[in-house]
């Protein structure tokens, strides 16, 4: 700093004394008075210095500014969160059980049922989460044990939960069976062992995949069985896969699917048998070419064979035919109980193509059967070996009505417009 030089005159010094001349601090000049004054000045300076020292000494830091260890914030331990709280009940068995971790990583997670079976699960690559990788059972108690580690230490957790208990269960069956080769008229069949209260819910859990793709629709033939078919007959070589994914789903009134089922089958050669009452013959076409024609005898006038399209079903090399199975007593006028050979099923109501050596003289001329198509033993055997489930028999020109579409093997007698509209 610069100090102005003070003009001459009498001024008070810093100690209240009068000087003849003014001290010029800026030039470091001082004119002192008598010795006594000098002593008093030195004393005052010492007192001032002492006061300054004391003041400074009271503000000198200790030299150790770190916070004591006891006052440091502790590192947080890992926190494990669960998708279901301890003691939860009625849990959806399809819902994955999951864990999430903060401030650390999972080192172990185990979910077991009451039998001690470990549920498959997977820890994420970063250790921050875990999830089950298989579905859970119905009405089961599951126990979780998990451990996570982090900079702040180790955290463990245990809990239990219970999955929902359905009111009832139903087992589905998908047909045709896995690997089957069937005819061009074979519908997809999904049968349940219980009546289905919510048919639409069941349909929504069934997926039909075809190669090549084809449009199709569901139709219920009774309370336990739904069918799926295309508008027209299948194209030979088509592959059909059926997935019935009903486990964990309510099909109405607390009825849940017991298990999932699937099947894949293939459509074989086109085989259509034309049974014409005018000519009283059966003409078999394979891929459009007639390969065999055989005389037959249809149902007599009191028990005529219905017209319509039949789907070939089961077959028996030998079987007992009993009229009482469809309500006609054996000892009545039209009753019978007879063993037949080489029987190929055409309807659930009991119509077969079968060997009838007793009517050889009538075959091709007169109708004498109880509704079946009577043929010779040789022709019955050929038909048995050269047709397959899903092949078709088209009956024409009889005096009977039309085979019901709800017969079980009469699906093609339901008009496509009706079938496509559905009946869920």
Please list the active-site residues.
354, 372
Cα distances (angstroms) measured from residue 26 to each of 5, 10, 11, 118, 376: 8, 19, 17, 93, 146
Burial class (CB within 10 angstroms; exposed 0-12, middle 13-18, buried 19+) of 15: exposed
d(CA 373, CA 169): 41
Instruction: Give the count of beta carbons closer than 10 Å to the beta carbon of residue 249.
Output: 17
Q: Which residues contact 320 (CB under 8 A, 6 or more apart)?
A: 337, 338, 339, 340
CA 48 to chain CA centroid, Å, is 91
Supply the DSSP string of 303-321, one letter for each residue: SPPPBEEEE---EEEEEEE
d(CA 196, CA 399): 37
Cα distances (angstroms) measured from residue 88 to each of 93, 140, 295: 13, 12, 71
SS3 43: helix
Residue with tokens 């702040």: 152
d(CA 269, CA 75): 74
Burial class (CB within 10 angstroms; exposed 0-12, middle 13-18, buried 19+) of 392: buried
Q: Residue 204 gets which letter from DSSP?
A: H
Contact (CB, 8 A) for 304 and 337:
no
Instruction: Give the count of beta carbons closer than 10 Å to the beta carbon of residue 351.
Output: 24
Burial class (CB within 10 angstroms; exposed 0-12, middle 13-18, buried 19+) of 387: buried
Contact (CB, 8 A) for 99 and 109:
yes
Q: Edge-to-edge strand order for the sheet containing 206-211? A: 181-182, 261-267, 239-244, 206-211
């Amino acid at each position: 700093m610069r100090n102005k030089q003070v003009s001459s005159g009498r001024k008070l010094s810093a100690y209240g004394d009068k000087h003849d001349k003014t001290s010029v601090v800026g030039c470091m000049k001082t004119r002192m008075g008598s010795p006594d004054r000098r002593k008093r000045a030195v004393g005052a300076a010492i007192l001032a210095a002492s006061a300054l020292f004391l003041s400074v000494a009271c503000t000198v830091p200790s030299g150790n500014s770190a916070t004591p260890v006891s006052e440091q914030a502790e590192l947080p331990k890992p926190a494990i969160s669960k998708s279901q709280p301890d003691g939860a009940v009625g849990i959806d068995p399809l819902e994955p059980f999951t864990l999430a971790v903060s401030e650390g990583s999972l080192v172990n997670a185990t979910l077991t049922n009451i039998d001690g079976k470990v549920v498959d699960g997977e820890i994420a690559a970063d250790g921050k989460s875990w999830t089950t990788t298989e579905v859970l059972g119905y009405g089961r108690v599951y126990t979780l044990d998990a451990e996570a580690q982090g900079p702040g230490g180790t955290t463990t957790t245990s809990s239990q939960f219970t999955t929902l208990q359905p009111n009832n269960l139903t087992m589905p069956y998908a047909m045709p069976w896995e690997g089957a080769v069937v005819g061009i008229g074979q519908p997809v069949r999904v049968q349940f062992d219980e009546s289905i209260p919510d048919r639409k819910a069941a349909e929504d859990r069934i997926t039909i995949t075809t190669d090549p793709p084809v449009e199709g629709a569901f139709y219920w033939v009774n309370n336990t069985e739904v069918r799926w078919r295309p508008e027209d007959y299948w194209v030979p070589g088509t592959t059909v896969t059926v997935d019935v994914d009903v486990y964990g789903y309510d099909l109405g009134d607390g009825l849940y699917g017991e298990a999932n089922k699937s099947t894949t089958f293939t459509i074989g050669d086109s085989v259509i048998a034309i049974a014409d009452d005018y000519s009283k013959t059966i003409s078999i076409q394979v891929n459009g070419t007639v390969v065999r024609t055989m005389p037959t005898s249809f149902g007599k006038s009191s028990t005529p064979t219905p017209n319509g399209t039949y789907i070939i079903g089961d077959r028996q090399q030998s079987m007992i035919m009993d009229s009482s199975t469809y309500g006609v007593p054996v000892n009545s006028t039209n009753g019978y109980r007879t063993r037949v050979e080489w029987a190929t099923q055409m309807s659930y109501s009991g119509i077969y193509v079968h060997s009838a050596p007793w009517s050889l003289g009538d075959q091709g001329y007169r109708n004498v059967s109880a509704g079946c198509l009577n043929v010779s033993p040789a022709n019955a055997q050929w038909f048995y070996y050269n047709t397959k489930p899903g092949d078709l028999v088209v009956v024409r020109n009889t005096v009977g009505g039309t085979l019901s579409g709800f017969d079980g093997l009469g699906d093609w007698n339901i008009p496509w417009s009706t079938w496509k509209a559905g009946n869920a």
